[in-house]
Amino acid sequence: MIVAPLSRPIVGVIALPGDKSISHRALLFAALCEGPSDIRHLGSGADNKATQHCLRKLGVHVDGEGAHVTVTPPKELRKGPVELDCANSGTSMRLLTGLCAGLGVQATLIGDESLSKRPMRRVAKPLAELGAEIATTDGHAPVTVTPKPLKGATVRLETTSAQVKSAVVLAALFAEEATRLYEPELTRDHTERLMAALGFPLAVEGEDQDGKTAIVVRPFSGVRPKGFAVWVPGDPSSAAFWAVLASLVPGSDVTLIDVSLNPTRTGFVNVLRRMGAQIEVTERGASAGEPWGDLRIRAAEKLEATTVGGHEAHMAIDELPIVMIAMAFAEGRSEITDAGDLRNKESDRIQAMAAVLKALKIDHEVRPDGIAITGVPRDKRAPAQANVEAELDHRIALSAAVAGLIGPAPMSIAGFEAAGVSYGAFLQEVKTLTGEARPPSDAALARRKPITVAIDGPAGAGKSTVSKRLAERLGYTLVDTGAIYRSVALLTLRAGVDPNNAEAVAPIARSVDVRFEQKQGGQSVMCNGEDVTDAIRTPEVSRLASVVSTHRPVRAALLDIQRKLAGVGGAVLEGRDIGTVVFPEAEAKFFLDAAPEERARRRMDELAAKNQAADFETVLHEIRERDARDSARDVAPLKPAADAVLLDSTKLDVPAVVSEMERRVRAKEK
């Protein structure tokens, strides 16, 4: 693969694939539940596929091949003997070793050439402290697990590794007593966050006498958690490639959406900022116990050298190869220390990156636990092509590709396919974004895949105005689901049926036919052939709509009609439960909110326009009361979906909200 320097800036919005680490863990924890789990935005790389493959070998049903899978555990997992091929994935091998030890599975875990060189004793040893019998092959794969009953223990880990920690945690769930686990240093904490979010028996306890935090795992007490539904936030490690690229290509302005903002993963942001990178972080929501949001990166004037060591080096360990590329383009001498574990990754990343730096003719000094790099800014470089090897390592392949894209000379990368382990689509995405600097051609527009957009939120947040404008901008169908509930309310009223009687209202909901027709000046609501646009907006119908919409059979009856009206993409649906119930698979979800005071003010304006008198305090009180009722009701309560972007119209005006939404939808239409 020859990567040529970019001739134009990268501008636009990128939706990142699901995080690799969180995806592995979500799959494994789903396998330990009693019932099926639903995982969306799963990492699409080969490593996550390896975990799915191994789980299938253990008898777990994993349905769906893409980013959305359903995981259904069998009554009992296979006890083996079984061979689990983890391909290139160290996380799969280490975590599954712990899981098999816990479940008492007789298993042999194997991997590819690169994985077979990676250290496995680090996981065998602490598992042995729980009584597990794990044999490695000279400290490497193949790794064999022989079933043994496990006891609880106090385990002090010697290796700073989230994979080792997680392996012990998985095994400890099946030990006879509780296990206390101490890490030498804090590592990424996805396992702890996910387990806490899913209700698995794990607690993180405060510091003990040596100032360490204990992770306490209690064994399952006969009851396993039921299944769960999670949406996996995007991969910060993939974000790091964009951050360095956009910082160094003049004129660039990229927003990475859906990125996990877990502080144990975003160490690279601090490092790059210290070097002069312009990175803005905005939190947008929380899912699987993880905060997530946007990273906006604008080209930096220039980058300056920095030093990375100690805890910071551990927190950014996977991003250090791409940080080395940033250092190679920075002014001055940078240093990385305390990063000896880089040598134990998919390749010896210190050596592999030294080879890349050598090919780029950048002065550097290799050390046992790091590297020193004397950077040369791009405009002072000689444009000579560099030739490098990916060394079967995705992060080396992608780091080298970024260097080639920055230029000034092309980069030839042997074995670039390794990038597929985490982010095979990277170069394709870069192409799309550099194209976005021009107005999109008809052909580019025609290639877009229309998606389903869900907009939920309380009354008065501005949903109708925003949805209408967004649908116009996108050329999408607008489905006002409130109008469907209102139509049912109108028919209930006319039929003289008691609106509180769910069984009496349900047949009306089952037979109602609502359509939307485009008319001059807007959309008309047709109910059973009659234009009810105005009739459904009376105060009486509004009140009745909020009553009939609380009935479970009514909501169930209206699901089909809402889904039919939306079709298979190219629709904006606004309502209360679109992202959570009607279209949990919607590709873009928004939760539009506004402060109750602001919504009360808007309601006052509406009333004033109709010459109706009202008192602010009373209106505000009603709004607060309804919010509490809507979010507490047990049928489809009003709440943001885990993957919904939270937008607050108190702070943003309508055009700002609409363009924010449009940017995100466009990023997902590709």
Residues that bind ligand DC (CB under 6 A): 459, 481-482, 485-486, 545-546, 549, 575-578
In this complex, which beta carbon is closest to ligand DC, that of residue 76 or of residue 534?
A: 534
Residue nearest to ligand DC (CB): 482
3-class SS of residue 629: helix
Residue pair 39/194 in contact by the 8 Å Cβ criterion? no
Tell me how far apart the alpha carbons of residues 564 and 656 are, in angstroms, rounded to a whole number.
30
Q: Cβ 542 to ligand DC, closest distance in Å?
A: 7
- Tell me the CA distances in angstroms from 141 to 90, 97, 124, 129, one per residue in order: 10, 11, 11, 20
CA distances to 330, 346, 375, 519 from 275, in Å = 8, 27, 12, 56
> 287: helix, coil or strand?
strand
Nearest CB to ligand DC, comparing residues 546 and 649: 546
Query: Residue 50's closest CA among 9, 94, 11?
Result: 94
* Amino acid identity at 82: V
Pick between residue 45 and residue 499 the one whose CB is nearest to ligand DC: 499
Whose structure tokens read 């985490």? Answer: 422
Q: Which is nearer to ligand DC, 271 or 578 (by Cβ)?
A: 578
3-class secondary structure, 51: helix
Give 153 or 548: the residue with its C-beta nearer to ligand DC.
Answer: 548
**At closest approach, how far in Å is the CB of 453 from ligand DC?**
14
229 CB-contact burial (10 Å; exposed 0-12 / middle 13-18 / buried 19+): middle
In angstroms, what is the minimal distance from the CB of 581 to ligand DC? 8
603 is written with which tokens?
């309601």
Residue 519 CB, shortest distance to ligand DC, in Å, is 18
Q: Identify the DSSP state of 119.
A: -
Name which of 398 and 600 has its Cβ closer to ligand DC. 600
Residues 6+ apart with CB under 8 A from 620: 596, 597, 600
CB of 668 to ligand DC, least distance (A): 22
Minimum distance from residue 647 beta carbon to ligand DC (Å): 17
Whole-number Å distance between alpha carbons of 573 and 594: 19
Catalytic residue among 258, 318, 393, 480: 318
CA distance 196 to 219: 14
Quote the least distance from Cβ 499 to ligand DC, whole Å: 12
Nearer to ligand DC among residue 159 and residue 549 (C-beta):
549
The b-or-e profile of 553-592 (16+ CB within 10 A means b, else e) is ebbebbeebbbebbeeebbbbbbbbbbbbbbbebbbbbbb
Burial class (CB in 10 A: 0-12, 13-18, 19+), 460: buried
How far apart (Å, rounded) are the C-alpha atoms in residues 355 and 351? 6
Which string of DSSP letters, residue by residue, matches 309-356? -HHHHHHTGGGHHHHHHHHHTSBEEEEE-S-GGGGGSSS-HHHHHHHH
Q: How far is the CB of 586 from ligand DC (least distance, A)?
A: 13
Extract the runs of DSSP E, i.e. beta strands, from 466-587: 477-480, 514-519, 522-527, 530-531, 571-575
Alpha helices in 249-300 (DSSP H): 267-274
Q: Which tokens is 172 given?
A: 């400890």
Q: Could you tell me the smallest distance in angstroms from the CB atom of residue 511 to ligand DC? A: 18
Which C-beta is closer to ligand DC: that of 208 or that of 517?
517
318 is catalytic: yes
C-beta closer to ligand DC: residue 319 or 577:
577
Task: Return the SS3 of 374.
Answer: strand
Residues with active-site annotation: 318
